[in-house]
Structure 1
Amino acid sequence: MGRHAKPLFGTVLLVYLVLGALVVGAAALAYAAVSDDVRALFDQAPHFDWDHARPVFVAFGVVWAVAMVLLMTGTAFIQSACTVVLREAVLGRPARFGAVWRHAWRRTPSVLGVSLLMALIALIPTGLALAFLGAVFVSLISHTAAPAGLLFLLFAVTLPLTLWVYILFLFGPAVATLEEAGPVQALRRSARLVKGAWWRTFGITLLAGAIMFGVSLAVRVPLQFAMPTPSPSAYGPGTTPSDVLKTMMPDLGLMMAVSMIGNLVVQLVSSVFGPLVSSLLYIDQRIRREGLAHTLDLASRSDA
C-alpha cells in the first residue's frame, strides 16, 4: 500500500468519482422526468396522491437499481485492480496505471460473477434472519413461538455453514483475475486451495477485519466527539429549531466537511486493504502447495 499507493488509491478514488458522477447524473435525469409530479406531491401535502407518487417511486427506484449495479461493478473492478497491483509488487515490478486498468477491466466480468455468487450465498442467512424477526413480531401478536423458534434454529445452523462456504470461496476474485478463470471455475479452484487451511485463512481474514474496524473507529469516533453542540444559551423562550441551526451552522459545516473527508479516507483504505489481504493469502497458499515461488522467481529474473 505504501510503495504502490498511486495505482491503488488512485484507482479506487477515480472509480468512486466516476460512480458518483454517474449516479448524480441518473438522479438528475430522473428528477427532470418526474419534476412535475414531485412538485404536485409537495403542493398537495398532507394529502397523498398515488397518481403522482407512482412515477416518482418508479423513477427513483430505477436510479437505486442503477446505483447498485454500478456499485457492484465498481467494487469488482477495484478487487481485480488490487490483485493486479499485488502481482506486480510480488514480482518486484512497477505497477503501471494503464496496464492495471486494462487487465482489471478485462477480468471485471468474471470477478463480478464471483461476487454475485458469493452474495447469493450470503442471502440465505440474511433472509432467515429477516424471517425470524418477522416471525417474532407475529408471535408477539398471536402468542405462539413455534415459527420463530424454528426460524432461529435454521438461522443458527445456516450461519456457520454460510461462513464456512464463504471462506472456501474467498480466493475467487484473485483466481478470476490472475488465472483468468470463469466465476464457477474460480470458486472451485478457491475451495481446493483453502481446503486444509480453512482455520488459518479464517483467522487472518478475521484479524484483517478487526484491524480495519479499529482504523475506522480511530478516525470516526474523534470526529463524532468533535461535532459541535449548541450551547445552553442557544435555547430560550421562543427559540425555534431553525434559530439553533443558524447558531451552529458555521462550525457544523466545517465539521461535516472534515467528517466526509475522514469517511472517504476510511473507505479508500478499506476498499484496498481487504482485497490485498485475500489476494496475498491466495498467493501464499499457491507458494505453499504448488511451488509458485520458483515460478515467480523465474518471472522476475526474466523481466530483469
Structure 2
Amino acid sequence: MSDTSGWGPQAPYGGPPGPYGGPPYGWGSNGGWAPPPPPPKPGVIPLAPLGVDHILGGTFATMRRYAKPLFGTAVAAYGLLVVVMATVAALAYLSVREHVQAMYEPGATFSWDDGRPILIAFGAVWLAGLLASLAVNSFIQASCSATLHEAVLGRPATFGAVWRRAWSRTPSVMAVTVLLALVLLLPLGACALLFVSFFITVLTQSAVPFGLVFLLLLVVTPLAAWLYVLFAFAPAVAALETAGPLQALRRSVRLVRGAWWRTFGISLLAGVIVGIVSLVVRLPLQFATPMPPPPAPGSSASAVLLDQLRSQFGLYALFGLVATFLTQLAASVFLPLVTAVLYIDQRIRKEGLAQTLTEAVSVREPAP
C-alpha cells in the first residue's frame, strides 16, 4: 500500500483551475454554453464535492469492493479480542480459584477475606476488557480509513497491507477515541445523576436536586453533541494524515467549522440506518423465540427458572448471537467509513483535494 503523500495538511492546496481540477469551461466552439465536464471517478466516489447519495453510495461501494480487507481485518481483530479476554478471564479465575471454591462450600458465609480477591480479579478482567475493546475498535477505525485511502483512488488493498497500515496508526486513533468517549460520558454521567437525584427527591420531598440535575442535563447534552461532531474527523485525520492526537483534533475542528449541521445530519442518518438494520435482523428472531411453558402447579422455583433458561438459551440464542455479531461487524465498518468519506468531502470543498487526488491517479496510471 502506498503512503499518504498528498493527503496530509503539509501538501500545497489551492482551488482547482476549473471544475473538479479540469480546464475552465464556458462558451463552446459553436457559440453555445459548454457544460462542465463530469468529475473523474477513479474509485468509489467522484473527485468533486459530494452529496449525501455519493457519501452513502461510496461507503456501500467500498464495503462491497473491498470486503476482504475490511471485514477480514475486523473479524481477525474481534477474534484476537476474544482470545485475549478468554486468556485474561482464565488467568483471573486461576488466581482466585481457592477463594471461589471457599465461597461455594456448603454452609459457607460471605467473608471479605475471600470476597476481596474475587472482586479485584473481576475488576482487573473488566479493565482489561475495556482497554482491549478500545484498542480493537480504534484498530478497526484505522483499517477502514486505510482501505478507503486506496478505494478512493481505485487501487487494490490487500489484507496484509491494511493490517500493517492500521496497526501503525492505532495508538493515535486510540488516543482520539478516548477523548471522544469522554465527551460521550458527559450526558451519560448527567443521566446517572438525574437517576440518583430522583430517589433523593422521593426520599426528601424536595425537588431542588432533581431540578438542578435536569438543567445540567439540558446544558451538557447539546454541549457533548457539539464537541463530538466537532472532533468527528479526528480518527480519519489520525489515520490518513499520520497526525498525532492533538493535531488530529485541531484539523477536525478546522474541517468541521462551517459544516457542523451537515456533518451532524449525515452522521445521524448513518446511525439511523444502522439502527433500522439492527431492528430488521433482531425483531424476527425475538418473535420466533419460543415462550417458556407455563409453570405447573407445585413446581419449584428452580424448575421454573430452568424451563425459562431452556426456552431462551437454545438454537434461537445461537442465531441471536450470530445476528448480533454480524450487525455489530457491519456497524463497526459502516460508521467509520461514512465519517471518513465525509472527511474527504470536506477537504475537497475546502482544500482542493480533488485536484491532488486526480494528479495522484494520473501519475500512477501506466502509460498506454
The normalised TM-score by structure 2 is: 0.78
Alignment-derived partner of residue 221 in structure 1: 283
| Residue in 2 that maps onto 1:117 | 179
Counterpart in the other structure of 1:199: 261
Aligned to 2:330: 269
Tell whether 2:336 aligns with 1:278.
Answer: no
The partner residue of 1:236 within 276, 288, 296 is: 296
| CA pair 251-130 structure 1, distance change in 2 beyond 3 A | closer
Q: 2:88 aligns with which of 21, 26, 35?
A: 26
Return the structure number with greater relative CO, CA threshold 8 A, min gap 6: 2
Mean Cα deviation higher: 178-187 or 116-125: 116-125
Alignment of 1:77 with 2:128, yes or no, is no
Partner AA of 2:232 in structure 1: L
Is 1:289 aligned to 2:343, yes or no?
no
Which residue matches 1:62? Answer: 124
The one of 169, 178, 188 equivalent to 2:231 is: 169
- Please identify which structure carries the higher helix content: 1
The count of aligned residue pairs is 302
1:106-185 equivalent positions in 2, closer than 5 A: 106-185=168-247
- Seq. identity, %: 50
Task: Find the aligned partners of 2:230 and 2:127 in 1 and give their Cα distance.
Answer: 29
Cα pair 1:7 1:95 within 8 Å, conserved: yes
Q: What are the equivalent positions in structure 2 for 1:244-255 lying under 5 Å apart?
A: 245=306, 249=310, 252-255=313-316
C-alpha distance in structure 2 between counterparts of 1:48 and 1:251, whole Å: 31
Question: What's the CA shift for 1:230?
Answer: 3.6
C-alpha RMSD over aligned residues? 1.9
TM-score by length of 1: 0.94
User: SS of the residue aligned with 1:43?
Assistant: coil
| One-letter code aligned to 2:296 | G
Going from structure 1 to structure 2, the CA distance change for 1:247 and 1:156 (only over 3 Å counts) comes to closer
Query: Could you tell me how far apart the structure 1 residues matched to 2:126 and 2:64 are?
Result: 35
Structure 1: state its 5+ residue gaps. Answer: none
1:173–1:186 Cα contact (<8 Å) kept: yes
The AA in structure 2 aligned to 1:120 is L
1:242–1:115 Cα change, 3 Å: same
Shift of 1:47: 2.2
Q: Tell me, which stretches of 5 or more residues in structure 2 are unaligned?
A: 1-62
CA contact (8 A) 1:228 1:248 kept: no
